[in-house]
Structure 1
Amino acid sequence: MYDIRFAAPEDLGDVLDLLVRLQADTAHHIGYLGETLGELSEELDGFEPRTVVATDDSGRLCGFLGVEVDRELGRAFLHGPFVDVPVNHPAGSRIWDQNADALYAAVAPLLDGIADREVFGHTHHRRLAAFAERHGFTAGRASGVYLADGDALRGLLLHDVDCPRTGPAREMRVLPTDAAVHEAVAVLHERCFPKTYLSGRQLVEGSRGHTVVVAMDGDAVLGYAAGKAEPGEYYVDFVAVEPGLRGSGVGAALVTELVWKLAERFGARPQAAAAVLEGNSSSVRMFTRLGFHLHTELVAYRMRPAA
């Protein structure tokens, strides 16, 4: 059993080394954190107050669990647990389970009053699946992470974006300040992504740093796309189109415009990424037509408050 304690600032380098190594293995991969040193460094900025670590008898860092709590939404997101188990150790699963459970117990004070909790990991992370089951989390639908890089990304950035026209003049704009547009985008977001990690109000207020592109028909909102420029990629987080216009090309135009705006504002990245829920065949077709390919599959485990 490792020693468990809250992290200190001087642990950051060892935590990053551990995560870069374990995130490269699908059997340890957690979806929130990114995979490169740059992505992890940004995610862990100011990490100590919400992180516990595990160390062995020599003081070597062997485990990590971070939490992100949104008290406005009443939700918590687990970044881990990660446990560094010696390769081919005969008791590897037991070591992982015991220390993962101890890390989770140690963050209990940070989760006080938050019954809605989630962890998001690779579908091949069997130890995480068992951890989730032990602690009352239920598996949701898997998500495919799709990437566009190389020629596909260049094609997106060079494409002449034009929102399909079937009525009055339409245009795509970065989210304007107009209150009615904010309300329409927030309502569409809540309708298409109920109980996600980000509310419609948080999205339009920009509290999580999203760039939002809106398709307009006069004063009417047809759809929107929202995303961020991460250290290693442009990330397309949400795409929503009014039901009557789905399949008309509005979504693809929004994704293309969003990636262009992120590149314009934040500079070059080697790839663009998006997550698509299992069974959403229309979104898969859209991203595939835009040159994205399936990179990995993740699944969310969620503990919900009692009804």
Structure 2
Amino acid sequence: MYDIRPAAQDDLDAVLSLVLRLQADDAHHIGYLGETLGDISAELAEFEPDWAACTVVATDDSGWVVGALSVELDAESGRAYLHGPFVDVPVNHPAGSRIWDQTADALYAAALPLLDGVPDRELLGHTGHRRLAAFAERHRFAAARACGIHVLDGDGLRGLLLREASCPRTGPAREMRVLPTDPAVHEAVAVLHERCFPKTYLSGRKLVDAARRHTVVVAMDGDRVLGYASGKAEPGEFYLDFVAVEPDVRGQGVGAALVTELVWKLAEKSGARPQAAAAILAGNRSSQRLFDRLGFRLHLELVAYRANPAA
């Protein structure tokens, strides 16, 4: 049995190395964490109050970090997000499943004080990660809808960057703008976000306040908000996390124009990236059609597990 202890700041490099090592082997079925050390480091850097204070690690007899679990608390939504558990065991080891299960359970037990008073908990993993699915079942996490990570690279991404971000003009001139400071526009985007993505990890208020380094572009028809798209430039990719369009203007090219403009603005702000990626909930056919038309392809499927979700 490995030793379980709270993380120290000096463990960060070892944990990053652990996750990258596991992610490099498809047999471990590690969920989508970005493609580079910088991607994963950027995600960990967003934890509050700091990374080490919300992480527990497993170490072997030599002190080598072989497992980790981090907890991210969102006070506004009253939800906790579990990143992990990540456990390094040889894929074909005869006792691999038992070692993984025992270590994962021990990490979760050690992290429980961080979760005190937060019954609504969520973890995200690859649909093929059977050990994680069993862990979720043991700890009474129920599987929610799956989502797919869709990517665009190579000539497809170059072509998107060369497209004109425009949609048909009907009535007042339509334009694409980076989120302006107008409070009325902020309110409209926040309301549209809450309507289209209720109870997601990022509230409408946080989205417009750019609390997570998001770039938000807005489609305007005069003073009216038609839709928005948000994303951020990670070290290895442009990540597009939300696209929403008002129902009465869907199917008119607004969504495609928003995605095109967002990718361009991210490239303009942060420079080139080898790919763009977007998360699409299973069953969201309109988003699926939109990204298919733009050339995105399915990269992997993830599933969220929820424990004691709020009514």
Flag structure 1 segments of 5+ consecutive residues without an equivalent.
none
Is residue 124 from structure 1 mapped to residue 124 from structure 2 by the alignment?
Answer: no
Q: Shift in Å at residue 125 of structure 1?
A: 0.5
3-state SS in 1 of match to 2:34: coil
Provide the residue aligned with 1:161 in structure 2.
Answer: 165
| 1:201-233 residue CA offsets vs partner (Å, 9 max, x unmatched) | 111111111110000111111000011111111
Q: Shift in Å at residue 282 of structure 1?
A: 1.7
Is residue 201 from structure 1 mapped to residue 196 from structure 2 by the alignment?
Answer: no
Residue identity opposite 1:231 in structure 2: P
Q: Where in structure 2 are the equivalents of 1:240-279 lying within 5 Å? A: 240-279=244-283
Out of 50, 53, 58, the position equivalent to 1:54 is 58
Is residue 74 from structure 1 mapped to residue 54 from structure 2 by the alignment?
Answer: no
Q: Shift in Å at residue 297 of structure 1?
A: 0.7
2:177 and 2:219 in contact (8 A); partners too: yes
CA distance in 1, matches of 2:84, 2:310: 24
Residue identity opposite 2:25 in structure 1: D
| 1:131-157 residue CA offsets vs partner (Å, 9 max, x unmatched) | 111111111111111101000110111
| 1:20-43 residue CA offsets vs partner (Å, 9 max, x unmatched) | 011223443444632321212222
| 1:62-82 residue CA offsets vs partner (Å, 9 max, x unmatched) | 101111111121011111001
Is residue 42 from structure 1 mapped to residue 42 from structure 2 by the alignment?
Answer: yes
3-state SS in 2 of match to 1:247: coil
Provide the residue aligned with 2:10 in structure 1.
Answer: 10
CA distance in 2, matches of 1:207, 1:128: 30
Distance change in 2, residues 1:87/1:237 (3 Å) = closer
CA distance in 2, matches of 1:14, 1:244: 50
Provide the residue aligned with 1:189 in structure 2.
Answer: 193
Percent identity over the alignment?
A: 76
Provide the residue aligned with 2:89 in structure 1.
Answer: 85
Residue identity opposite 2:238 in structure 1: Y
CA distance in 2, matches of 1:40, 1:277: 22
RMSD of Structure 2 on Structure 1 (CA): 1.4
Residue identity opposite 1:145 in structure 2: I
Flag structure 2 segments of 5+ consecutive residues without an equivalent.
none
Residue identity opposite 1:285 in structure 2: R
Out of 112, 119, 134, the position equivalent to 2:116 is 112
Structure 2 length-normalised TM: 0.95
3-state SS in 1 of match to 2:97: helix
CA distance in 2, matches of 1:34, 1:111: 26
Deviates more, 1:164-173 or 1:146-155: 164-173
Deviates more, 1:118-127 or 1:13-22: 13-22
Q: Where in structure 2 are the equivalents of 1:214-229 lying within 5 Å? A: 214-229=218-233
Out of 285, 299, 302, the position equivalent to 2:289 is 285
Provide the residue aligned with 2:24 in structure 1.
Answer: 24
Aligned pairs, number:
307
